[in-house]
Structure 1
């Protein structure tokens, strides 16, 4: 598939076809990591792994339970 950039205000945009978005399960809320090796542009959707979800839940629980005490300790 060959694509061209389109003008979007003062920037350029790459429009991704709906079929590709659906194949990769990407929507407007999906965070994307953009990297390059100097010659190629790589766009990768970031996915929450089970480990990340578990960590976020545990962190939220600790902050809810001990947030004030941790804040006082930090001061």
Structure 2
């Protein structure tokens, strides 16, 4: 009876240890993913800004061309 209880306690401790290691691993993975997401969001913002700049320049060129056509 005592051996059975001791064995169950040992098994429970092992399961808790595995769960703790898994939690640590998932926490690390989550940190990596959050950093990657932050980096991608910054890259996206930079690309949107470049796109907006290019669009504004194209619209300005089109306006100048139209003005040249009319004169």
Normalising TM by the smaller chain, what interval? Answer: under 0.3
Higher relative contact order structure (alpha carbons within 8 Å, sequence separation ≥ 6) = 1
TM-score by length of 2: 0.27
Compare CA radii of gyration and give the structure with the larger one: 2
**Structure with higher helix content:** 2
TM-score by length of 1: 0.26
